[in-house]
Amino acid sequence: MRVHWKELLPVLGSALVAAFFFLGCEETTTPEQPPTPTAPPQPPSNLQALSVNDSTVRLRWSPSPSESNANFGFYRLRIYDDAQGRLVGTLRLGTQTPVDIVGLRSGTVYRFELYAVWRDTTRDTAQSVTAAVVRWAPATRYTTLADGSPIRLYETDSQFPSGLDLEGPDGKPRTLTVAQGNEWDLCLDTRGGSWDIGSPRLSTYTIANPRRTLIDTLRLRQQKYLQVDSLNQIFETEAFGAATLAEALANFNNQRRGFIIVLRTQDGNWAKVFVKADAQGNILRGTAPNRYVELEISYQKTPNVPYALPSSPWEPSERGFVPRIDIRTQPKEVFE
C-alpha cells in the first residue's frame, strides 16, 4: 500500500497539537553541554600498518587520551604520496581500529598522518598539534601457486621442487627442482637431518650460479617473528632496513610454531615468507622422502620498496570486522 504524504496532514496536524498541549504543561530543560576545550586534543599514538593486498593498507593505533572527553569528534587521516610529498586525500575516521584503507597504488609508499579532532571543528584548536605517523606501501599476497595448489617446498631427497622463485615469468611465484636452482630465491635443505630454509648459496645443493638472497637476521631472532600463526598478526611501524641483511639459513628442527622470514631478493624485491605449522606444531610435514613445508608469501613487486606484509581484508579483529574505506569513492563528508 502506498500513502501520499498529503493524506497524512490531518493526522499529523492533530498529533502536533496534542504534542504541543502536552509539552506546554511541562517544564522544559536544555541539556547542559560540556564546555568547549580551549586546548587542542591530544594526538593518537603508535600508528602501525600492514599490507592487505596490492591496493590496501590496514592501519591500527593507540587511541588519543582525549577520546574520553565528551567533546571528542573523530580522527582525521591525511594520506600523502611520500616520494612526491603530494596530499592524496583526507579521511574522517571513527574510533574503531584497525581500519583498511582501500584504493591505493601498488608499489607506492604512502605517508599516513593521523590527527585527533574535537567535535566543534570551527575552532582553531580543533585538531591535535601533532599526528601519529607511519609510512607504508601495499604488497601482493600469495597463498597458492598459479594452478591453485599450496606453495610447498620438498625435502632434499624428494624428486619434487625444493626451491622457490618468488616471481616467475607470469609474475607469480613458482616452485622449482634443483635442475633450475639458478632461479631459486629460497630453498629447503634437509640434508644430514638438519632442517634449514633460506639462502640458496648457503645450501648443500650443487648449483652452478645460485642467486644471492639476503635474510633479515635480526627479525629471524625476534620472538615476534618466531611465534606466528598467521601473517595477519604482525603490524610494523617502519620500513625494513638493510643493516641486518645477510645470507642465512633458518634451522627449524626444534621449532613448534610457524615463523616468518623477511628477505630481499637479488633483484631488490622485499618479501615476507610465512613458514606454516600444522595443528600439531609440525613444520616439516608428510612422510619421507616427500616431506614438505608449506608457505604463504607477501611480496613487493616494486624493487627497493621495503614494505611487504599482507592480511585478510575481512579478518575479525578484537572489535568486530575491519572497516574498509575506499579513498576513490568516499562522499564529501568523509573524504575531505
- Whether the per-residue pLDDT at 51 is higher than 90: the answer is no
* Domain identity same for 193 and 123: no
Residue 25 domain flag: no
- Whether the per-residue pLDDT at 328 is higher than 90: the answer is no
Q: Would you place residue 50 in the very low, low, confident or very high pLDDT band (cuts 50, 70, 90)? A: confident
Q: What is the mean pLDDT of residues 110-119?
A: 96
Q: Are 155 and 288 in contact (CB under 8 A)?
A: yes
Q: Would you place residue 322 in the very low, low, confident or very high pLDDT band (cuts 50, 70, 90)? A: low
* Domain identity same for 107 and 255: no
Residue 96 domain flag: yes
* Domain identity same for 132 and 145: no
* CATH number of the domain within which 72 lies: 2.60.40.10
What is the number of other CB atoms lying within 10 angstroms of the CB of residue 86? 9
* Domain identity same for 263 and 280: yes
Residue 65 domain flag: yes
SS3 sequence of 226-284: HCECCHHHCCECCCCCCCCEECCEEECCCCCCEEEEEEECCCCCEEEEEECCCCCCCCC
- Helix, coil or strand: residue 12: helix
- Whether the per-residue pLDDT at 171 is higher than 90: the answer is yes
Q: What is the mean pLDDT of residues 81-87?
A: 94
Q: Between β-strands 324-326 and 99-102, what pairing exists: parallel, antiparallel or unpaired?
A: parallel
| Domain boundaries, position 185 | 141-299
